[in-house]
Amino acid sequence: MAVRNWGSALAFACVAAARPALGAEPDARSGEPGWSGAITGYYYAMRDQPDFGVGIASLDRGSLHLEARYNYEARDSGSTFVGWKFEGGETVTFAVTPIVGALFGSTRGFVPGVEVSVGWRAFDVYVEAEYVRDLDQSDASYYYAWSELGFRPAEWLRIGLVGQRTQTIDSGRDLQRGIFGQLTLGKATLGVYAFNPDSASRYIIVSVGAQF
């Protein structure tokens, strides 16, 4: 799945967003939940493979969750999802969003999945998991997961551990693991992820996101 024009992925991210979106604000006139969302662009700076970009966009209204991605499940491919969020808790908060989507482009597939977040004080856990059912080559179907364990020493800073299992990167490891840091200023977030720092297959991901 080689993408040489990663700029197209970032452009897609700017028009279409994801983790995590703002809670929907009620409409002042109707009292119903309004729309909220986020856009995020990721630049993968690879050590021994072509660099590429990933774009993610989301919209939320009440419990309804809509999402679009580019280069996420497969290079030169886009995906769209619809889901429903279940959330609650006080001391420990949680949100669980089952999603189902379609993959199109260089790879065609059916993608059921789930997004889960749990928070306690300054700590949080985020897990995103899905099964990519390849409609053209059934033996190419695979399971994908992205996980974060985060800590906020300050409101504007989030640091922690990250792991992913993916087929978009060939590093010789089934599980990619690393560390990350995020800076938040208002509704904008800048993140840096360092994967496999102890390996020759190490790489960096830089993310830029905004909520609206």
Backbone angles phi, psi at 77, to 5 degrees: -135, 150
* Two structure tokens written together for 207: 């993310």
User: What DSSP string runs through 96-111?
Assistant: EEEEEEEEEESS-EEE
Q: State the Cα–Cα distance between residues 192 and 205, nearest whole angstrom.
A: 6
Token pair for residue 195? Answer: 């994967």
Give me the DSSP letters along 19-74.
Answer: SSPPPPPBPTTT-SB-EEEEEEEEEEE-SSS--EEEEEEEEEETTEEEEEEESSSS
CB–CB of 132/141 below 8 Å?
A: yes
pTM value is 0.83
Architecture of domain 7-211: Beta Barrel (2.40)
Mean pLDDT per 10-residue section of the chain, whose length is 212 residues: 38 40 53 91 92 97 98 95 97 98 97 98 97 93 95 98 83 82 98 92 95 96
What's the pLDDT score for residue 175?
85
pLDDT of amino acid 32: 78
Residue-level pLDDT at 198: 86
